[in-house]
Amino acid sequence: MPNMLDMLLEHKIVAILRGIEDRHADRAGRALIDGGVKLMEITMNTAGAPAMIERWRSLFDGEAAVGAGTVLDADMARDAIAAGAQFLISPNLDEAVIAYGRERGVAVWPGVMTPTEIVRAWKAGAEAVKLFPMASLGLKYLSEIRGPLDSIPILATGGVDADNIGDYFKAGANAVGIGSKLLNMEWVREGRFDLVTAQAKRFTGAVRRLDSVQ
């Protein structure tokens, strides 16, 4: 099984699927993969999330990693891992979720906001943290905390779009989580999966270009 942290650091984008309707989900997932997305997070507040995770594990086996998002506590972590989630992402920091994931060999990237929370998460065994909500914290905040906290991988989440994605990496993000600007629900409802793929390519192409100039 591929190492999730390695995948996160290599591909640098996590697609966040929140509230996708089950009848559209498989085509949306396929469209994202066709656009180069390699890590997909189905949030646990999406109706039928565990069943969707389980289905995607076999449907997209070898093409993309499938994890669970909005994992708020150990009960949700248990349900997500039972469904086959390959990584767990949370908006909050709960040491019990980190411990549960570690016991089962599943990567946990908890949500953090402050330097104290980042270090707490790291000490509890998280190999990376989700810095959230970035749209409110701002890029300057990220670059400032990078001074003292320069070795903890940061998955910056919130407010990422195709024009500013490069700024997130310049400010110190190792990876980004992208929701609304990557998966436009209107396109999904209208069956415009070609547009979803084209949009995904804008993001994955931006990451490739940034990698090539480094």
Ligand X SMILES: O=C[C@H](O)COP(=O)(O)O
Chain residues binding ligand X by CB under 6 A are 16, 91, 135, 157-160, 177-181
Q: Which residues of 164-175 are buried (b: 16+ CB within 10 A; e: fewer)?
A: bbeebbebbbbb
**Tokens standing for 36?**
């180069």
CB-nearer residue toward ligand X: 82 or 135: 135
Please give the residue whose beta carbon sits closest to ligand X in the complex. 179
* Shortest reach from residue 147's CB to ligand X, in Å: 25
CB-nearer residue toward ligand X: 70 or 86: 70
The verdict on whether 12 is a catalytic residue reads no
* Shortest reach from residue 159's CB to ligand X, in Å: 5
- The CA R_g of the chain, rounded to the nearest whole Å, is 16
What length does the chain have? 214
* Shortest reach from residue 133's CB to ligand X, in Å: 7
The verdict on whether 41 is a catalytic residue reads yes
Residue from 77, 15, 11 nearest 42 by CA: 15
Residue 119, CB-side half-sphere exposure with 13 Å CA sphere: 8
- Please identify which of the residues 41, 103, 140, 144 carries the catalytic annotation: 41
The three-class DSSP label of residue 191 is coil
CB-nearer residue toward ligand X: 3 or 114: 114
Would you name the residues annotated as active-site residues? 41, 130
